[in-house]
Structure formats: C-alpha cells, structure tokens
Structure 1
C-alpha cells in the first residue's frame, strides 16, 4: 500500500540542519524574525511560552515537541516567572556549547533542544502546503530520542554524515506528523489520510499516478457520489481532487527531470500521459517552462 506521507517527506529532502541546546532561568523573552525554514523544539525540562505570529500563544511542558514546517517569526518567553512585557533577551553561547537565556548565574530552570532544517525539493512550497502548519506532540519518548540523534549527528564529523542526517530528519518529521492528534484543524495531507473516505483515494493516487484517474473513478474509491466526494476532498485536503493529482504528477516529473535518469517519454508514461507532447504541454502550462528547458536549468544550477 502506498504511503503518501512518506512520499512527500522523502521528496522534500530535508537537509542542512542546525540544532542547539538552550537553557534559561529567571524572566526572559527571545524574539526571532529571521526564520525562513523548518523549526522544531523539544522541551527537555521546565516550561516555556511559545507564540507564533498569527496564532494564540501556548505553553510547552517537559516532554512536549513542536514542529512548524514553515516557520516565520515567533517569541519564546519564560512562564515561571512570567517575562515583563518590554523585556528582550539575547542568548549567550557558553563554553559548554549551550546557549544561556535570562539570568546568567545559577542552575537552569528550563532547557530545550531547538533545531532548524531546510527542504531541498524544487516543489517544497507545494509539498509543505499539504502538511499541517503546526504539530504539537506530548510525551513521546521516540521523538526525544530522534531529536537527540539529529543533534548528535549534526555536531559530529562522521563519514556519510549528510546521508544519515537526511534519513534521521525524514524519520523525525514522519514520527512527529503521525504522532499528532491535532490533524483535524488544518486542511491537508494528514487530515486527508485520517479520513476513512478520502484516505483510500490519496493512497490510490500515490500507488498509481499513471492511472487515468477521473473524479468519478476516485469517488468510487471513496465509496461516495461524485459531488459528495469532490466537496469532501476539497474541504479536507484543501485542493480539488484533480488539482491534487496534477500537482503530484508534476512534482514527480520535476524530481525525475532533476535526477536526469529518465528521458521525457519515460517520465510521461510513468506519471500517466499517453504521449510526450501531452506531457510537455501540461508541464509547460503548470511549471511555466518546457520539460527540456527545466532539465537544463536544474542541471546547470
């Protein structure tokens, strides 16, 4: 059975991670406005208040994990004691490699592992749009272990470290997404996979993108009427069924063109186009350039 979540995560190609340990005591508030990548935080002990722009603030307790696939700006502050409204703190790197926030002396009252990573996919924005905008998971020891492995591997200089990190990050992302219980809040892939009717159609598309799918055929997979299926898919996934199919086909085509291991005719057959010309027309309309020119562009990059 096809696993659309694994497909999406593997095509995102997470890489170049950065992670750090941060400790704090006393009142503190740190503001970040320069984040343009995946952000995750594992709260190791104590409590912190996390506020993402445009969202209600919430408290991370010991053992909580938060993952934001497309972070922009956020504020982290102390809970015990609360930070004064105008306080601005600056993390200071200690000799032990740990960043200190708030009061410099005395034992730490909170500690968290914070990490960032980037996606190498040429369709990262589209793929990220299929994922929840935020995931919060509590009490999952597996996530703690994975986050620690990512940190250790990122700091070590071992053979094949980049390959190991990419796979660790893939596992971390998958584990975080499948551990969350808040998939119903945001339309997207996870919400679709959790739906008893829409999930089978998503798996069918990923298992056989070359099939000549129609809304009627996908509705049969879901056991719904055509109109009921179309409405439900659009509401739960956030895009229309054929729109999702087209985006997924073009994403696969981009990755195959980027790899340079298939000619255009093979790619056309693999993703469900009966002729090279039909594929070239659809690709050009969707991407804005022909497959041949796209392949030359990514090869020269």
Structure 2
C-alpha cells in the first residue's frame, strides 16, 4: 500500500543540521525570527511557554516535541513570564556547551533541545505546503523513547555523540510527522491521514496520480458525498482536493526533472496529463518556469 506521508518525507530529505541545548532559570522571554526555516524543539526537563505567529500559546512539558516546517515568528518564555518591560533574554554560552537563559545563578528549571532542521529537496517549499504549519506531539510512547535516547546522549558525553544525535534527531523529525495519537497538528497532510475517510482518498491520489481524478470520484473513494468530502478535506488538509493533487503532481514532476531521466512527454504521462503541452502549461503556471528550462537550471546547479 502506498504511504503518502512516507513519499512526501522521502522527497523532503529531512536532516537535523543545527541544534543546541538550552537551560532556563527564573523568569525570561525570548523571541526569534527564522525567515521560513524549519524549527524544532524538544523539552527534556521542566516546562515553558511557546507562541508561534498565527497560533494560540502552547504550554510545553517534559517529553513534548514541536516541529514548525516553515517558522517565521517564534516566542518562548518561562511559564511565569517576566514583566513586560524586561528585555528579551540573551542566551549565554556556558563552558559545558550549553546555553543559559534567564537567571544566570541558581538551579535551572528547564532543559530543552532546539534548533533548525533542513530539507534537502530543492523543492522543499512546495512539499512543506503539504505539511501542517505546526506539529505538537505529546504522550506518544515511541517519541518519548527517542527523546530519552537524545537526553542520554547529551548527559553521557560518549564518543561519536554528535553523529548519534544527528541520526536520532532525524528519526525524531520523521516520527513526529507520522504521529497521530496524542498529536495536535494544524491543517495539512498529517491531519488528513488521521481521518480514515480522507486517508483513503489521499492514498488513491498517491497510488494513481495519472488518473484523471474528479472531486466526485475522490468523494466516492472516501465514502462521502461530494460536498461533505470537499468541505472535510479542505478543513483538514488546508487546501481543496484538486489543489492538493496538483501540488503532489508538481512535486513528482520536479523530482523527475531534477533526475533528468525522463523526457517532458513521459513525465506528463506519468503524472496524469494527456499531452506534453498541457503539462508544460500547468507546470509553468505553478512553478514559474517551463519544465525544460527548470530541468536545465537544476542540472547547472
């Protein structure tokens, strides 16, 4: 059976390229602007408060994991925030390699690992649009096990620690994306797949991207009326069914064009277009470049 999330994650090529261990003490707050970079945070001990632009505040507790595939404004603070006039905290690098925020003396009440992951795909922007804007995982046993392994690696200072941590964090990212039990995710593929009816239609789109799907046919796969399916899909996934299908077809086309293994006519046929010209028009409108030019520019880079 085709696994839509696995296909998207495989094309994305996630990797944990930068992380730092942060300890907090007393009241503090900090704000960062990440210009659309993928941001993640795992709370190892204690708790804190997170506010992401466009979302309600979230209280993060030990074992919680947050993934924001395209972060812009992110604010964090202690559970009891400082007075409004107190300036943003500046993380202070410690000799241990950790960064400390808030009170510089006394016992700490928070330990978290945060940083940026990267998506190796040149088409990350399009693929990220299929994911939730925010994934918050809590109470997921498998994820808790990985978090515990991350915590142990940081504490024990064993050889090859950085290599092990990088791989553990990559697994953590993928596990978070595929978690549904105990997961709070904004609209996107994850929420769509958590709905059994919608998941059936999404799998069929991924299994047969060449088929000339209509909303009515997809609604039948989901065992829903056309109107109920359209509304339910749009609410859960964040885009209309045919818009999702178009985004996935374009992601497949760009992947094939980068590999330079297929001609435009063959790619058009493999993603469901009746002719190379129809595919070229759709690709140019969606990507901003004709497929041939896109393939050449990818080869040059």
Sort the TM-score into its range (normalised by shorter chain): 0.7 to 0.9
Query: What corresponds to 1:134 in structure 2?
Result: 134
Larger strand proportion, structure 1 or 2?
A: 2
Q: Structure 1 residues 16 and 186 mapped into 2: Cα distance closer, same or farther (>3 Å)?
A: closer
Query: What corresponds to 1:84 in structure 2?
Result: 83
SS at match of 2:75: strand
- The answer to whether structure 1 residue 276 and structure 2 residue 276 are counterparts is yes
**How far did 1:292 drift?**
0.7
Q: Report matched runs for 1:25-174 at 5 Å.
A: 25-34=25-34, 36-79=36-79, 82-87=81-86, 88-146=88-146, 165=166, 171-174=171-174
Q: Distance in 1 between matches of 2:26 and 2:224?
A: 57
Structure 1 portions without partners, runs of 5+: none
Q: Structure 1 residues 34 and 177 mapped into 2: Cα distance closer, same or farther (>3 Å)?
A: closer
Q: Distance in 2 between matches of 1:199 and 1:110?
A: 38
Q: Distance in 2 between matches of 1:142 and 1:245?
A: 31
Q: Does the Cα contact within 8 Å between 1:36 and 1:70 map onto a contact in 2? A: yes
Structure 2 portions without partners, runs of 5+: none
TM-score (norm 1): 0.85
Q: Does the Cα contact within 8 Å between 2:29 and 2:81 map onto a contact in 1? A: no
Q: Structure 1 residues 198 and 184 mapped into 2: Cα distance closer, same or farther (>3 Å)?
A: farther
- The answer to whether structure 1 residue 231 and structure 2 residue 231 are counterparts is yes
More moved, 276-285 vs 137-146: 137-146
- Aligned-CA RMSD value: 3.0
- The answer to whether structure 1 residue 254 and structure 2 residue 254 are counterparts is yes
Q: Distance in 2 between matches of 1:197 and 1:94?
A: 51
Q: Distance in 1 between matches of 2:199 and 2:141?
A: 28
Q: Distance in 2 between matches of 1:44 and 1:206?
A: 37
SS at match of 2:27: coil
TM-score (norm 2): 0.85
**How far did 1:149 drift?**
6.7
Q: Does the Cα contact within 8 Å between 1:122 and 1:254 map onto a contact in 2? A: no
- Residues 254-278 of structure 1 deviation map (CA, whole Å, 9 limit, x = unaligned): 0111122222233222212233333
More moved, 141-150 vs 61-70: 141-150
**How far did 1:139 drift?**
3.5
SS at match of 2:196: coil
